Structure 1
Amino acid sequence: MKIRQILNNNVALVQRGELDLIVLSSGISFRKKVGDSLDMSEVEKTFIPDSNDVLESYSYLLSHIDQKVLDATKRIIQLVETELGEEVNDYLYLTLLDHIDYSLKRAEKNQFIVSPLTWEVRKFYPKQYELSKQALQIVFEETDIEFPESEAVSIALHLINLQESKVSIEDTVKEMKLVGDIMTIIKMHFQIQLDENSMNYNRLVTHLRYFAQRVSVGEIYQSQESELNKQIRVMYPQAYLCVQKIKRFLKQQFQKDLSEDEETYLMLHISRVTKRKESEE
């Protein structure tokens, strides 16, 4: 590999065959100049941009990043790969690096973000959330800047995207918000707080997560179980009324119609999680 451009002491743009690569390693460019050769054994991390725009963006980010931020990100990536058992791709590595760098700049101005998705992330993705809290501790150890726990949500969204690579962060956020909105409709309709530790609650959340994914891609299941639907309506009238509110919400917000099949399953899950003997009300 030949050095095409030295970005800083730790980052260089190199050419290997016809590929332009960005290589990263502590002191890799020290006492080197353009045209010198580098051996792969000297390289800790290699980024392979898929376009000139991405190459320029990555080059700028890596050439301006503080070494402490780089060290913190590397430690976080190692933690994530060990705990989740998955290799972090270049995109996540660099977006996480950029996120931490920007967060530190905000912290210097005492600007911290409280995400509206805190409840959803903590409930639906507990492992990623716990890893993100550990990530904040790593940032503190490397930079002496302490973040409130609420900042963990933003990092968790990046980790969620790692394991759900077919879904963008934006889509994941929309799906979590939809689940949270439906849970709010249920709690407001029944005027109760739900037991978040119960098996029925977790079953409902799991069902709603997959339901939200289907809504986002336009997949709504259909079936011929109209008779079962009629029976459930009679057995659980309050669950039926609650589902009608959810149905109207979906129509207003997403222009989606709730199928009879989905309606039936939602009524069953809602009746279980609310623990109401509706016939006695």
Structure 2
Amino acid sequence: MNILRVFNNNVVLAREDDGTEVILTGWGLGYQTRPGEPVDPAKIARTFRPVDDQDPDRMAAQLAGLPTEHVQIVGQALVAAGLARLAANPAVVVAMADHVGSALSRAASGQALEYPLLAEVSHLYAEEYAQGQALVEQINERVEVPLPASEAVGLTLHLVNAGFSAGDLSYSYRMTGLIQQFLDVISQQFGRELDVGSVNVGRFITHLRYLFVRIHQRRQLLDQRHSAVGVAIRDNYPEAARCADLLGSLVALRLDATLTEDELSYLALHVARVTA
């Protein structure tokens, strides 16, 4: 494995024998080295493999711009919390390390950040919220000034955001608010309170998360003509279909995206299930 680019003493971009570009971190890994030279494997602390369309150079530059100790703390905490897969994703580590750095600064100065989405996050993303709480515990074992428990909300949103391709949390914030609004609209339309802990509502939330990923990636379900399954759903569940149309109008307002007919039909099917 040879060095492609040295970003600082602790971060380099390298090419593996199969041609894959990876980001390597480690104390002194880049010290007095040049492109083309072999990497000293004894100095490698962590290997990051960019995924999807992530630019290795940009990811490496962002990692190099963060305090090394914050990157290490986040990487170690992710592994200890059972999230080793994310610990190898540079985009996730960059976003979390930046967040943790700010959170540690707030904690050191005695400031506490109140997250208005605590109730929504803990209910809508129960699995990620538990992981976020575990991350706070693991981070606090590695720092002098502990983070407040409320930081689990911010870390949870980063975990949710990882499903989109990590960056700022604006889309995840909008998605969280929109999911809660969907549940409120359905409750109002059908005159009943939805049980967020039920299997059907859980499946609905999962469907919405994947729907928002498809919207974000511009890969909605699409049929040139309304599919036979979609027509059948609308014919069998007319009230749910009307509610789905209303939800579609909220997507247009909040996300500036028009749902396809098939997306609306499957949305109607989930509405029918959660209100059965």
Calculate the TM-score normalised by the size of structure 2: 0.68
| Counterpart Cα distance in 1 of 2:64 and 2:89 | 17
Q: Tell me the residue number matched to 2:249.
A: 248
Q: Tell me the residue number matched to 1:219.
A: 220
Amino acid at match of 1:157: L
Q: Deviations over 1:240-279 (max 9, x none)?
A: 55334324323434352562x544444443344234xxxx
CA contact (8 A) 1:5 1:34 kept: no
Q: Deviations over 1:41-62 (max 9, x none)?
A: 13323569843x6655443423
- Could you tell me how far 1:152 is from its partner in structure 2? 1.1
| Counterpart Cα distance in 2 of 1:231 and 1:5 | 62
Q: Deviations over 1:77-122 (max 9, x none)?
A: 3225x44656522332233222211111122333333444445543
Q: Name structure 1 gaps, 5 residues minimum.
A: 276-281
Q: Deviations over 1:149-186 (max 9, x none)?
A: 33112222333444x36575554444444322211211
CA contact (8 A) 2:164 2:213 kept: no
Q: Deviations over 1:116-153 (max 9, x none)?
A: 44455434543332222111112222224333333112
- Could you tell me how far 1:189 is from its partner in structure 2? 3.0
The count of aligned residue pairs is 254
Calculate the TM-score normalised by the size of structure 1: 0.67
| Aligned counterparts, 1:99-138, within 5 A | 99-138=99-138
Q: Name structure 2 gaps, 5 residues minimum.
A: 16-20, 50-54
| Identity rate, percent | 22
Q: Which has the larger radius of gyration?
A: 1
- Could you tell me how far 1:230 is from its partner in structure 2? 3.7
| Counterpart Cα distance in 1 of 2:154 and 2:140 | 16
Kindly indicate whether residue 270 of structure 2 is the aligned counterpart of residue 269 of structure 1: yes
Q: Please give the secondary structure, in 2, of the residue aligned with 1:127.
A: helix
CA contact (8 A) 2:6 2:13 kept: no
| Aligned counterparts, 1:39-50, within 5 A | 39-45=40-46, 50=56
Q: Tell me the residue number matched to 2:74.
A: 73
Q: Tell me the residue number matched to 1:207.
A: 207
Kindly indicate whether residue 197 of structure 2 is the aligned counterpart of residue 197 of structure 1: yes
Question: In structure 2, do the counterparts of structure 1 residues 209 and 96 end up closer, same or farther at CA, with 3 Å as the change threshold?
Answer: closer
Q: Please give the secondary structure, in 1, of the residue aligned with 2:212.
A: helix
Higher helix share: 1
- Report the aligned-residue RMSD: 4.2
